[in-house]
Amino acid sequence: MASSSSKMLIILMVVGSFVLASANFYQNFDITWGDGRAQILNNGELLTLSLDKGSGSGFQSKNEYLFGKIDMQLKLVPGNSAGTVTAYYLKSAGSAWDEIDFEFLGNLSGDPYTLHTNVFSQGKGNREQQFHLWFDPIADFHTYSILWNPQNIIFYVDGTPIREFKNTESLGVAYLKSQPMRIYSSLWNADDWATRGGLIKTDWSQAPFTASYRNYNAVDVCVWSSSSGSSSCNSNSDNSDSWLSEQLDNTSQQKLNWVQKNYMIYDYCKDSKRFPQGFPPECAVNNAS
């Protein structure tokens, strides 16, 4: 019986870990705008955002985080999504905010989506890198992840790193280390710039536009308490906090180089017309390829 009890305990621990990892949208998020255009479905396992000519929609996390390793699965707006933006990002409050952005810029049917990334530190952004994806992001759900720790910020797509923003405080660049951030997502109309620089406008006859979310995972996070002014860090089932010092190993660095060589379509660190007097200092260490 002791052996059976031990097995049952292990099963309960595994189930408990799975419930924590896959905690549902009701528990973790609030719909913040859209007047009914955002919906939580399937007992909290699925969230959809919609956009029509009247309004878009959005949601935010109940918790704030100061560092974390966060996954979300998205299936983007299908068909002619030109003019729309599906944004999934972390952001702090205030006028000198920190922010880590995934933005998916809509496209004409048959054209590739553009994945737009950016990093803001103390209100300073203008650090855009853009990519085309190596798969069709409307055909199925794919996982978009952010690792944010004191050493670096790494953007992942289906576990493959696509961008790294290292802590370069030694070069005088402010790093995102003191302002807690919430998770946000929104679907909105940006046809003044989103598709081909605003040349292609939103076709409202295609509305409503809908993006879908599932399998939010934030086991490895430091949850901020506004009452105490401090954070409490959770770790995964092996009770390891190694994610707080995680960096790219050689294999991951090679994958990053592959993505940036083959799928990056814009890098601010290579835009000499934009920076004729020299690139921002972080570019010296954040260029993988």
For residue 203, count other CB atoms closer than 10 A to its CB. 16
Question: Catalytic one among 64, 99, 164, 282?
Answer: 99
Separation of alpha carbons 91 and 88, rounded Å? 10
Question: Catalytic one among 103, 128, 246, 282?
Answer: 103
Could you tell me which residues are beta bridge partners of residue 283? none
The amino acid at residue 204 is W
Q: Which two tokens stand for residue 263?
A: 């799928």
Q: Which two tokens stand for residue 239?
A: 């009770």
Which residue is listed with tokens 């528990």?
27
Residue among 207, 211, 29 at smallest CA distance from 104: 211
**What backbone phi and psi angles, to 5 degrees, belong to 225?**
-110, 115
Separation of alpha carbons 138 and 124, rounded Å? 32
Separation of alpha carbons 259 and 255, rounded Å? 6
Note if 128 is an active site residue: no
The amino acid at residue 9 is L
Please say whether the beta carbons of 79 and 64 come within 8 A: no
Note if 169 is an active site residue: no
Please say whether the beta carbons of 204 and 52 come within 8 A: yes
Residue among 243, 5, 201, 33 at smallest CA distance from 107: 201
Mention every residue, 6+ apart, whose C-beta is less than 8 A from residue 82.
Answer: 106, 107, 108, 191, 194, 195, 200, 201, 202, 203
**H-helix or E-strand containing 162?**
strand 160-166
Residue among 226, 265, 266, 264 at smallest CA distance from 66: 226
Hey, which residues are catalytic here?
A: 99, 103
